[in-house]
């Protein structure tokens, strides 16, 4: 019974690498150790979202009590999304918490995360700053999310205005990611971002 | 035959790495009978009212893990230990792995065939000894069971098992209740 977690991941792993989503390069799973407890997941940013064209890497830890309890998943790739922490990559998604069901698999988890990228739930946020921007200034949110997708997930969208502002801050001695976070949090208002960074 | 099929299933899914290619087709057919929790061929199989198949040990552990949220692991329909139906395949009498830790699988709810008035029969009647149906249809249950005396009737559980003893015990209780009930009817 104790080994049910590893046995199941083994089966799931075989299943997921044969799935049509893998064939379409929409999702991907990789084993990181022989005991089937640590895996690397990957999801493609869904089309018609700010994440389109990006590739998002996930850390998947399988608890001993799997599948009776959900896997622990977080984003390794930095992402700007109301339900994902822009700092830690922690995810707020019901099926990874109390709505987990034992018949769910790595494949369904990855597909659910992909769906989360398509449909954010700003009223149940993980990242308050992002959620506020999403609700108050959707266009600004989309621009920021696209920029992050470009910067961290290999997305094709380049915003020269964002890049220039970041460069300005870097020239002032600010680290790139820190600069990006400050600007993103202040709707790309260079003045306010600078103020916050140096206060 | 059933048991040899079962062995093939176990071979092909048990330790997959050995010969995954040759049994690929069989595996596809068998996946219908895979437990929705461990993804292996269901052992001590039970099926929920919503129709989803599980190993009893797997489902039991799921229900234990979330005592406050008893839902089907597949469709999230309400589910309970009392309302799962065990599946008895032909080979199922010689289960090798009873798993001491897990309580015995819930018993099948067996109702008696309708005797007496209609011999062509509707198959299964509602007039059983079982607690769940017994009380409502009570006097019927009593009479039909009296008519039943002397007729051979198949037993739901083999002699000597816990379940058998319980059934015997229950039927005695019902008999006594029936007598009490009739006495009450006569008095009233
Ligand atoms: Zn099972
Ligand atoms: Zn169900």
Q: Are residues B39 and B102 in the same domain?
A: yes
Which is catalytic among the residues A16, A92, A153, A179? A92
- Bridge partner list, B86: B46
Nearest to A69 among B13, B38, B65 (CB): B65
Q: Are residues A104 and A150 in the same domain?
A: no
Give yes or no for residue B154 having a pLDDT over 50: no
Q: Are residues A112 and A133 in the same domain?
A: no
Residue A92 a catalytic site member: yes
Instruction: Collect residues with CB below 5 Å from ion ligand 1.
Output: B 35, 37-38, 55, 58
Residue B114 is assigned to a structural domain of this protein: no
Q: How confident is the model at residue A38 (pLDDT cuts 50, 70, 90)?
A: very high
A67 three-state secondary structure = coil
What pLDDT, on the 0 to 100 scale, is given for residue A188? 97
Closest ligand by atom to B37 CA: 1
A41 vs A34, residue with greater confidence: A41
Number of domains in chain B: 2
Q: Are residues A8 and A105 in the same domain?
A: yes
State the distance from the centre of ligand 1 to the C-alpha of B93, rounded, in angstroms. Answer: 18
Residue A17 is assigned to a structural domain of this protein: yes
Residue range of the domain that includes B98: 33-107
Residue B56 is assigned to a structural domain of this protein: yes
Q: Are residues A17 and A114 in the same domain?
A: yes
Q: Are residues B53 and B94 in the same domain?
A: yes
pLDDT digits (tens, 9 = 90+) for B1-55: 344 433 333 334 444 444 444 444 445 555 678 999 999 999 889 999 999 999 9
Most confidently predicted of A128-132, B23-27, B160-164:
A128-132
Give yes or no for residue A48 having a pLDDT over 80: yes
Residue A123 is assigned to a structural domain of this protein: no
Chain A residue at shortest CA distance from B68: A98
Most confidently predicted of A67-81, B54-68, B144-158:
A67-81
Q: How many beta-carbon pairs below 8 A join chains A and B?
A: 43
Q: Are residues A77 and A107 in the same domain?
A: yes
Give yes or no for residue B156 having a pLDDT over 70: no
Closest ligand by atom to A7 CA: 1
Q: Are residues A113 and A191 in the same domain?
A: no
Among the ranges given (A42-51, B3-12, B64-73), the one the predictor scored with the smallest mean pLDDT: B3-12
The verdict on ipTM greater than 0.90 is no
- A2-25 b/e with 16+ CB inside 10 Å = b? eebbbbbbbbbbebbeebebbeee
- How far apart CA A3 and CA A9 sit, in angstroms, is 10
Question: What is the distance in angstroms between the Cα of A40 and the nearest Cα belonging to chain B?
Answer: 21
Q: Are residues A25 and A114 in the same domain?
A: yes
- How far apart CA B12 and CA B63 sit, in angstroms, is 29
Q: Are residues A81 and A33 in the same domain?
A: yes
For residue B58, which residues of chain A lie inside 8 Å, CB to CB? 4, 102
The mean pLDDT value for A40-47 works out to 96
The mean pLDDT value for A127-153 works out to 97
Q: Are residues B39 and B76 in the same domain?
A: yes
- The answer to whether the Cβ–Cβ distance between B72 and A101 falls below 8 Å is yes
State the distance from the centre of ligand 2 to the C-alpha of A116, rounded, in angstroms. Answer: 24
Q: Are residues B103 and B88 in the same domain?
A: yes
- How far apart CA A125 and CA A130 sit, in angstroms, is 8
Domain boundary among B65, B87, B107: B107
- How far apart CA A78 and CA A69 sit, in angstroms, is 26
Q: Are residues A132 and A191 in the same domain?
A: yes
Is 0.90 topped by the overall pTM? no
Q: Are residues A150 and A101 in the same domain?
A: no
State the distance from the centre of ligand 2 to the C-alpha of B75, rounded, in angstroms. Answer: 4
Average pLDDT score, chain B: 66
Q: Are residues B18 and B41 in the same domain?
A: no
A184 torsion bin: left (phi>0), alpha (psi -120 to 50), beta (else): alpha
Residue B76 is assigned to a structural domain of this protein: yes
Number of domains in chain A: 2
Residue range of the domain that includes A53: 2-118
CATH number at residue A95: 3.10.110.10
- The answer to whether the Cβ–Cβ distance between A7 and B71 falls below 8 Å is no
pLDDT digits (tens, 9 = 90+) for A68-116: 999 999 999 999 999 999 999 999 999 999 999 999 999 999 999 999 9
- The answer to whether the Cβ–Cβ distance between B73 and A103 falls below 8 Å is yes
What pLDDT, on the 0 to 100 scale, is given for residue B186? 73
- The answer to whether the Cβ–Cβ distance between A68 and B61 falls below 8 Å is yes
Structure tokens at A196: 């916050």
Residue A78 is assigned to a structural domain of this protein: yes
Q: Are residues B12 and B37 in the same domain?
A: no
CATH number at residue B80: 3.30.40.10
- The answer to whether the Cβ–Cβ distance between A67 and B74 falls below 8 Å is no
State the distance from the centre of ligand 2 to the C-alpha of B128, rounded, in angstroms. Answer: 28
Q: How confident is the model at residue B115 (pLDDT cuts 50, 70, 90)?
A: low
């Amino acid at each position: 019974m104790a080994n049910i977690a590893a046995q199941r991941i083994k089966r799931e792993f075989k299943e997921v690498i044969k799935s049509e989503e893998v064939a379409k390069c929409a999702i991907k799973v990789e084993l990181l150790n022989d005991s089937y407890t640590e895996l690397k997941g990957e999801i493609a940013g869904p089309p018609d979202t700010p994440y389109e064209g990006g590739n998002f890497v996930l850390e998947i830890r399988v608890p001993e009590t799997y599948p009776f309890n959900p896997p622990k998943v977080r984003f390794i790739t930095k992402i700007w999304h109301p339900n994902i922490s822009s700092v830690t990559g922690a995810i707020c998604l019901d099926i990874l918490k109390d709505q987990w069901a034992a018949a769910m698999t790595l494949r369904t988890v990855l597909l659910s995360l992909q769906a989360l990228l398509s449909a954010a739930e700003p009223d149940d946020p993980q990242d308050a700053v992002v959620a506020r921007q999403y609700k108050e200034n959707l266009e600004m949110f989309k621009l920021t999310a696209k920029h992050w997708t470009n910067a961290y997930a290999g997305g094709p969208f380049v915003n020269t205005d964002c890049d220039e502002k970041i460069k300005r801050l870097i020239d002032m001695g600010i680290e790139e990611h820190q600069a990006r976070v400050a600007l993103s949090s202040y709707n790309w208002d260079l003045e306010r971002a600078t103020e916050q960074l140096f206060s | 035959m059933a048991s040899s099929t079962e062995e093939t299933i176990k071979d092909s899914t048990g330790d997959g790495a050995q010969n995954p290619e040759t049994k690929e087709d069989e595996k596809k057919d068998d996946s219908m009978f895979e437990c929705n929790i461990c993804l292996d061929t269901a052992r001590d199989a039970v099926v929920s009212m919503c129709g989803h198949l599980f190993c009893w040990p797997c489902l039991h552990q799921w229900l234990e893990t979330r005592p406050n949220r008893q839902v089907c692991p597949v469709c999230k329909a309400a589910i309970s230990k009392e309302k799962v139906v065990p599946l008895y395949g032909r080979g199922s009498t010689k289960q090798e792995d009873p798993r001491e830790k897990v309580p015995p699988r819930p018993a099948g709810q067996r109702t008696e065939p309708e005797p007496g008035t209609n011999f062509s029969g509707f198959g299964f009647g509602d007039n059983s000894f079982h607690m769940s149906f017994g009380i409502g249809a009570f006097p019927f249950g009593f009479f039909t069971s009296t008519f039943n005396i002397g007729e051979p009737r198949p037993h739901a559980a083999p002699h000597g098992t816990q379940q058998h003893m319980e059934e015997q015990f229950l039927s005695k209780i019902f008999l006594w209740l029936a007598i009490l009930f009739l006495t009450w009817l006569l008095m009233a």
